[in-house]
Structure 1
């Protein structure tokens, strides 16, 4: 017999500080591409083109600067304060999001697969993501940007515990 997971509360663990570096790098990369687009517009569209072009020649760099400030200087720090995770005896759960926060809880008894993935930037920062999957498309929990060793230990522990619950059910 399985017990119901405890009510959703703030998960206990924050992400490692290396996640801030990863998010800052992602923000800088997106800013580079945005600025390349703004530069191409400023270079190839003459100010004398009329219409909204003169206004756009002022607005686009301003928006580009705002995007750079938010994505590199603010967002990584806010995300680090908000993104949290925890594995309890009954469930795996996370809180993610910045403007829209999402709490996701997966009971241990519902776990079917546990995956560890590492994107290119995650590898550069020594991080990995643990995906805890269930039969439901809505039931997946992703614990983003854990230190690689910690991610592997969490995945191994969850897989072992889920197997024990399955063995007890049969």
Structure 2
């Protein structure tokens, strides 16, 4: 008899508020890079060039402004509201995405490796990512932007549980 599958449900924990600051910072950086590209276009492409250039001269700044407003003013707060995670005795759960949402469940028995990584911006905000590697074709499942000490405890707990499951199986 096979065990009943794990229910795909809402994970219990949200990310720390520092994740919002990280996402805002990432969005500001991407908006600045976008505006540099728009500025280069406006500076180096003559206004009297033919084709779609006259339309692009007003459409690109408008699109850049719209991107900045959504990326900086909307997306980080919506992502914070949507992104959730939880570790139970049987599985690690995540829900990610702000337009397309993905629920992921990783049974503890399938975990092969658990890593903690910290990018440069994550370090500035005191955050880290827990990567849960399995033998699945789906690859690595990540629990993004946890407080560094929480990420370390989660990784240690998952590695310990996975080791206990392997010990019982042998």
TM-score range, shorter chain: over 0.9
| Pair 1:63 & 2:63 matched | yes
CA positional deviation for 1:3:
5.4
Q: How many residue pairs align between the two structures?
A: 169
Q: What is the alpha-carbon root mean square deviation over aligned residues?
A: 1.2
Q: For the Cα contact (< 8 Å) 1:5–1:90, is it kept in 2?
A: no
Change (3 A) 1:58 1:127: same
CA distance in 2, matches of 1:12, 1:6: 15
CA distance in 2, matches of 1:4, 1:126: 39
CA positional deviation for 1:137:
3.0
CA distance in 1, matches of 2:60, 2:139: 40
CA distance in 1, matches of 2:143, 2:127: 11
In structure 2, runs of 5+ residues without a counterpart are none
Per-residue CA deviation, residues 18-50 of structure 1 (Å, 9 max, x unaligned), is 000000000000001100000001111111112
Q: Determine helix, strand or coil for the equivalent of 1:158.
A: helix
Aligned structure 1 segments of 4 or more residues deviating by more than 2 angstroms: 2-6
TM-score by length of 1: 0.96
Q: Name the counterpart of 2:44.
A: 44
TM-score by length of 2: 0.96
CA positional deviation for 1:4:
4.9
In structure 1, runs of 5+ residues without a counterpart are none
